[in-house]
Structure 1
Amino acid sequence: MRTATGVTILPSAGVFDPNILRGLASRTAIITGGAGGIGAATAKIFNQLGANVVLADIPIFEDKANEIIASLPYPSQALFVPVDILNWDQMKTLFKRTVQTFGMVHIVVANAGTMESSEVLNLEDVDSDGDLRESNEAFKVIDVNLKGTLNTLRLAMPCYMGGTGVSAYFSSKHGVIGLLRGSQQAAQRYGISVKGIAPFFTPTRMTAGFAERWHEAGLEGNTPEMVGNVIAQSAIDDTKSGSCILIAGRFLRELEFTRTDIMSQWLGQDMVDFMRKAFQFMTSMGWYQLPQISN
């Protein structure tokens, strides 16, 4: 399907609606990582549909960003702002310049990201004394992909006053689940079992502020000892690497394997079959061919 603007829309279970896309006209979008790849393609689509686009990327990509802007259908409706998404002052400048130029921010695409260029869980990566080297590159990946996205989200929110809850805590814990999943291949190679424990409400120093009210509401909670017992059992059980146990009072539920079991109901069998083939291909290739990233 092609719209009048020339943008190709792939029909997929009614997800895409060209009529909705027309609403992008006169909107303003900030796109981090906008000087290449998905960011550049997104900027082009938005601009084709009449949106103002701000390509935000690190300074070394300025020439590339300007080339992209020059190639857009409406280059006067595009702007490049050099920014490191980990630099709070630069990020504030990004949003301020966008407002100064186009009047308002309607859409923010937190696209910027990076990947390691060598395997993080390589146990042969040791120094001259035989000690494991610190994974500085992995720290950079986590900083850019998670902390940088958090910076983008905070500045994209229309209001800064309270009410956002413990979003940093939740984000970090979701990151731990990603680490659990991403570590399984290396763990298998080294004969190590890596599992996760996900305690629900457990009265500790962190939750002291509302522990009493939780119990007054009749809600079941954990004790630190209950969680410790599950940890102990998991620690001596060498099977089921990759599992994650949710502990909620008397309720114990396995999260990761059950997620796999219902994948076809969730995504559809056709998608599951495609993903299985894709993972088999990546496995045959030795998984991701890590990029050579210049510092």
Structure 2
Amino acid sequence: MNTSASCYHLPNNKPKTVIITGGANGIGAKTARTYHGHGCNIIIADLPSSSDAANALIASLTEPSRARYHPTNVTSWHDIQALFRLSKETFGQIDIVVSNAGTMESKGFFDFEEDEHGELMEATEAGRVIDINLKGTMNTLRMAMHSMKSNPPDADGTRGSIVLIASTSGYFGGTGVVSYISSKHGVVGLSRASQSVARQLGVRVNVVAPFFTPTHITSGYSEKWKESGLPANTTEDVANAIVSTSVDPARQGHSMMVAGNLVREIEEPRTTSTKDWLGEEISDIMTRGGKFFNDLGGYTLPQARS
């Protein structure tokens, strides 16, 4: 991938500005540090409860003046609006957005908790995970695309770059963490569904899908994983993949799976193997259906029911 230093600056030699949601800890913090090391302005968007971690990270940087922390709950549209507005007021246009904020359930979806009447209780924890991981990513993507569409084109003709953080769980999912797996499948679908508009706007939207990475989310089994001898990512591995994907003009609609020291693009092989797993007849029907909607100018939305 093209990761030369010039990729991190605009044609007028001003540094690019990057927003990283969930940027105070773990993968997000390492990503923020990596962008900053390449000369970018960075905005760490994270919950108010992460303010100490965010401010400590900024204080540790070589040029803290190129970094800001904005308290942000990605499920709140008001917070997302304020994040982009204040970021623009501070640094100007937003060039790169990394939608990294995410969480995992602390209760099993199939625990079947009952109330005092013996009635099954709602899985509210599941809703919280979906809200943060999927709704929050949708909020971030939508606002980022709206912000970037008015940017002047970069040297490669791009007006902005967005990286959505999914997971290998967005493609596989036999571990039983129902809400997390469902949300990450949703993030992959979100990227696929956004490509047509993204191309029209000159914005690149890609996915990074990490395999096991020791962070707070995986703390419950990290030591046992290490003892097993299975390969693991470091946060640096994932951060490097995120940064490289965001600045590589060849990446559009791609998904980069990060597994240990291996990085593989997996969307194009999935597309080319469609005939192998669907069969030629169904694959042909799907292709013709796609052409129908392209010729139609997109999916015709139904009227809202009263």
Q: What is the TM-score normalised by the length of structure 2?
A: 0.47
Structure whose CA Rg is larger: 1
Greater RCO between the two (CA within 8 Å, min separation 6)? Answer: 2
TM-score between the two structures when normalised by the length of structure 1: 0.49
